[in-house]
Amino acid sequence: MKKYHNAENVAICDGKLKIKVDGFNHEFALSVISERLAAASDVEQQHYQVSYGIHWPLIDEDLSIDGLLGIKHSLPNFKNAANI
């Protein structure tokens, strides 16, 4: 899957997810973005994979970068294509 953002420096500490996305630092309270992640152990929180989003396999949790940043995408307009 194509990465749309450059996400790096992912860290969880003091109940917050800290991440650098496209050169800008962001911080999110775990209690706001994911109850499952907030309740996870330190080991579970620190075991993650970054791709299109962030995946925590030990707790089966996924957060998209777009979702964290509040970016919404509109669906393509297939209605016009059907009226050929």
pLDDT profile of the chain (84 residues), mean per 10: 76 95 94 96 96 93 88 68 56
Report domain extents, the chain.
Answer: 7-82
Domain 7-82: top CATH class: alpha beta
pLDDT at 69: 85
pLDDT at 38: 97
Q: Report pTM.
A: 0.77
What is the token pair recorded at 22? Answer: 């496209």
pLDDT at 71: 76
pLDDT at 70: 80
pLDDT at 3: 61
